[in-house]
Amino acid sequence: MSAYSVVDIFAGPGGLAEGFSSVRREDGNPAFRLALSIEKEAAAHSTLQLRAFLRQFDGTFPDCYYDFINEGGEEPDWAALFPDQWSAASREAWQLELGKEDPEFRLNARIDEIREEAKGNTVLIGGPPCQAYSLVGRARNQGKEGYIASEDKRHFLYQEYIRILDRLRPAAFVMENVKGMLSSSVDGENKIIDMVLDDLRGERRGGERYRLIALSPHRRRQLDLDSFEPRASDFVIRAEDFGVPQARHRVIVVGLREDLAADLPEHSLSDVMVRHNLAATVGHVIDSMPKLRSGLSRRTDTPEEWRQVVTDAMTFVADIETGLPDDQHLAFATYAMRHLTAFRAQNTVPDRSATGTGISGACPRDLRDWLTDDRLKTLPNHFTRSHMTSDLARYFYAAVFAEVVGKSPKASDFPEELAPRHRNWSSGKFADRFRVQVSGGPSTTVTSHISKDGHYFIHPDP
C-alpha cells in the first residue's frame, strides 16, 4: 500500500507534519507523505519550506546543510544547489492566507488533484489560528473598546478547515487547537467547541460523515466507536503524559470517515495512545547543554563586569531574610552560599553562545533519539539574552528557592528587597511573573510570545 497523502493547513512551521512524516511502516517505508502544507506568515513558511526540502533526502541530509548549521554564515542557495528537491518542496509548501477569495481557485484545483491521485487515501491535519480562543487572546480582546466577538473573523477560520475537509474527503483528519477553545463562545451564547465538533462530524452538511475519536479520554477507556461518545473535555491531550518535557495541553480531535469507522473490529481503539511510565523533564533536555552566561543590559557587558555583577547579586541573596520556615531558610542560605563559593572558584567565564551539543544520558531514549543528530556539532539558536542587574538577583533567588522548596516562588514569596518596581507586583494578578522551570518536572507551556515573557522561563541552574 502506498503512503497516505497528507494536507497540512494553518501549518505554522510544520510541527504537526513532522510527526506524520516520521512514521514508518513495518517494511521501513513512510506511512505518510506530505502532499501540501499551507501557511501565511513568511517566517513560519520559510521553516516549513526548508523542512519540506530536507524531506526530499529521506533522512540523509546533504553535507552543506550540516556545514551551514555547524559553522553559521549565510544560508546556501538551496534552489541553485538542488533544483529538483527545492522545486518539489515549493510545490508542497505554499505561503497562502486561507479564507481569501483570490487564491481559492488554485488551492481547490490542487486539493482535487491530491484527492484523485491518492484515491481517497488522504489525511487532513492542521490547527486554525487560536488567538481568538486562547485565554490570553480573549483577555486582550475584552480590553478593546467596541470589540464584538461575532465580527472577529478569527473565531470562524475553522470553517476554512471544514471547507477543505469537504473538498478533500480524507480517510481521516486531525484538528489541533488550544484548550481555551473549550470555554470560548461567540458573544456569550454559542460555544465554539460545540459548533466545531458538529461541523467536523458532517451531519449537517450532507457530505461525508466522520466519527470523532478522543485519543486520551479522561472518563474511561474508549474501546470502540459504537460504545463511546466523547465529551468535549475528552479531546484534551496532556503532552507531559506522553513523553514530552512540557505541560502543553491541547485540544486534538481525530476524525475517521464513516465508511472506514464502520469496518473497525471491536475494541480496536483500546490503548490508541499509551501513557509513558517515565516522565520526561526539563533537566533531561537542558542539564547537559553547554554552559552560557547571561548578558548585561543598560551597562557595559564584558566578562569581567558580568562576573562582578553576578558575584554582588549572589552575595546579596545569600544573606537575605527569606521568610521561609527555619529549616528551609537554613537550607536556602546553605545552597546559596555553596553556589556563590563555586562561582567564585571558577577560573573562566562562559561565553554568551557556544558550540557543542549535549543531552542527559537519563533522558528517555525515544525523546533523545528524536532530538539528537550525531552530525550536529552545535545547538541552533543557543545564545542568551541580556538582563537588568536587579533581575539577575531575582533569578538567583528564584532558582535557589525552587531548589529548596521544589517549586517556583510566587510574588508573595519574594523578600521586599527583591520586589521589582511594578505597580501591580502586590496585586496578585501576576503572581508568577518570575517563574523558574523546575528541573525535575515538565516545563510550563512554551508560548508563541515567549520573547515577551522572559521572566517566565528562568533557568533552574542557579
Phi first, then psi: give them for residue 63, nearest 5 degrees.
-60, -40
197-245 pLDDT per residue, tens: 999 998 777 778 999 988 887 766 655 566 667 888 889 999 999 899 9
For residue 254, is it within any domain? yes
Domain identity same for 297 and 250: no
For residue 462, is it within any domain? no
Domain identity same for 83 and 159: yes
Query: Among the three residues 228, 261, 294, which one is the final residue of a domain in this structure?
Result: 261
Domain identity same for 124 and 248: yes
Query: Among the three residues 261, 292, 317, which one is the final residue of a domain in this structure?
Result: 261
Half-sphere exposure of 76 (CA within 13 A, CB side): 18
Residue type, 246: Q
Which residue pairs, CB below 8 angstroms and at least 24 apart, start in 416-423? 417/316, 417/320, 418/317, 418/320, 418/393, 418/394, 420/390, 420/391, 420/394
159-182 pLDDT per residue, tens: 899 999 999 999 999 999 988 888
Domain count, the chain: 2
Residue type, 420: P
Domain identity same for 237 and 369: no
Domain identity same for 253 and 290: no
Q: What count of other Cβ atoms lies within 10 Å of the Cβ of residue 243?
A: 18
Domain identity same for 67 and 199: yes
* More confident site: 47 or 379: 47
Query: Residue 187: which pLDDT band, with cuts at 50, 70 and 90?
Result: low
Query: Residue 13: which pLDDT band, with cuts at 50, 70 and 90?
Result: very high
pLDDT at 101: 66
Query: Residue 265: which pLDDT band, with cuts at 50, 70 and 90?
Result: confident
The SS3 assignment for 174 reads strand
Helix axis angle, 42-55 to 83-92, nearest 10°: 130
CA gap 207, 170 in Å, rounded: 12
Domain identity same for 132 and 88: yes
Q: Cell 514530552 maps to which residue?
A: 244
Domain identity same for 59 and 174: yes
Q: Cell 529549616 maps to which residue?
A: 327
Domain identity same for 18 and 114: yes
Question: Domain containing 27: what range?
Answer: 4-261
Surface-to-core class of residue 206, CB atoms within 10 Å of its CB (0-12 exposed, 13-18 middle, 19+ buried): exposed
Domain identity same for 257 and 286: no
For residue 274, is it within any domain? no
CA gap 49, 75 in Å, rounded: 14
CA gap 237, 347 in Å, rounded: 47
Residue type, 260: L
CA gap 318, 373 in Å, rounded: 40
Give me the DSSP letters along 61-81.
--HHHHHHHHH-SSPP-HHHH
Task: Provide the terminal-to-terminal Cα distance of the chain, rounded to the nearest Å.
Answer: 54
Residue 73 CB partners (closer than 8 Å, separation 6+): none
Arithmetic mean of pLDDT over the chain: 87
For residue 273, is it within any domain? no
pLDDT at 287: 92
CA gap 420, 105 in Å, rounded: 55
For residue 121, is it within any domain? yes
For residue 246, is it within any domain? yes
Phi first, then psi: give them for residue 40, nearest 5 degrees.
-90, -30
CA gap 86, 95 in Å, rounded: 15
380-439 pLDDT per residue, tens: 888 899 999 999 999 999 999 999 999 999 999 999 999 988 777 777 677 788 999 999
For residue 270, is it within any domain? no
User: Would you say 223 and 266 are in contact if contact means Cβ atoms under 8 Å apart?
Assistant: yes
Domain identity same for 87 and 148: yes
CA gap 221, 270 in Å, rounded: 7
Which residue pairs, CB below 8 angstroms and at least 24 apart, start in 217-225? 221/270, 221/271, 222/269, 222/270, 222/272, 223/266, 223/267, 223/269, 223/270, 224/264, 224/266, 224/267, 224/268, 224/269, 225/256, 225/261, 225/264, 225/269
Q: What letter would DSSP give residue 391?
A: H
Domain identity same for 240 and 316: no
Residue type, 381: N
Q: Cell 481521516 maps to which residue?
A: 172
Q: Is the pLDDT of residue 193 over 50?
A: yes
CA gap 225, 70 in Å, rounded: 49
The SS3 assignment for 215 reads coil
For residue 267, is it within any domain? no
Q: Cell 489541533 maps to which residue?
A: 176
CA gap 239, 278 in Å, rounded: 13
CA gap 27, 431 in Å, rounded: 53
Q: What is the CATH number of the domain that holds 56?
A: 3.40.50.150
Query: Among the three residues 232, 261, 290, which one is the final residue of a domain in this structure?
Result: 261
When mean pLDDT is compared over 22-26, 315-319, 348-352, the highest value belongs to 315-319
Q: Please, what's the largest Cα pairwise distance for the chain? A: 73
